[in-house]
């Protein structure tokens, strides 16, 4: 923890979840911050609260949101690569193995997305 952000170190850049609270107390932004300068490189906003911890694989960061989506975001640019719609909140932390992203959500399913 540093200030209002939870940092995940990847090389000389940190990936962090912006801890600015929404009205209901949740988090809606996922950000990338340079670890040396502490300058924000990019910020990605979702339509729901972000409660899951991210997974990083092959220059992509994966995380879920309470807007019922799992997101895949380019780790360098912050641009969305894709999002996957589910039937419930995605508050579990994803795991990545052999190019497949595994995660659960509140609809009671375990998903495997490539």
pLDDT of residue 7: 46
Selected residue with higher pLDDT from 9 and 75: 75
Q: How far apart are the first and last CA of the chain?
A: 32
3-state DSSP: the chain helix, strand, coil percent, rounded to 5? 0, 50, 50
**Which of 111, 2, 101, 110 has the alpha carbon at shortest distance from 54?**
101
Query: In the chain, how many domains are there?
Result: 1
The domain spanning residue 31 has which CATH number?
Answer: 2.40.128.630
Q: pTM score, two decimals? A: 0.78
Q: What is the pLDDT of residues 53-106, one digit of tens each?
A: 889 899 899 999 999 999 999 988 899 999 999 999 998 999 999 999 999 999
**Domain of residue 104, residue span:** 5-113
23, pLDDT greater than 50? no
- Residue 62's nearest CA partner among 111, 11, 5 is 111
């Amino acid at each position: 923890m540093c200030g209002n952000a939870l940092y995940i170190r990847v090389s000389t850049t940190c990936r962090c979840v912006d801890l600015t609270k929404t009205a209901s107390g949740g988090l809606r932004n996922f950000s990338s911050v340079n670890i040396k300068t502490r300058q924000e490189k990019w910020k990605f906003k979702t339509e729901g609260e972000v409660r899951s911890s991210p997974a990083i694989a092959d220059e992509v960061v994966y995380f879920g949101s309470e807007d019922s989506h799992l997101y895949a975001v380019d780790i360098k640019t912050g641009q969305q690569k894709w999002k996957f719609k589910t039937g419930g909140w995605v508050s579990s932390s994803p795991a990545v193995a052999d190019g497949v992203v595994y995660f659960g959500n509140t609809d009671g399913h375990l998903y495997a997305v490539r």
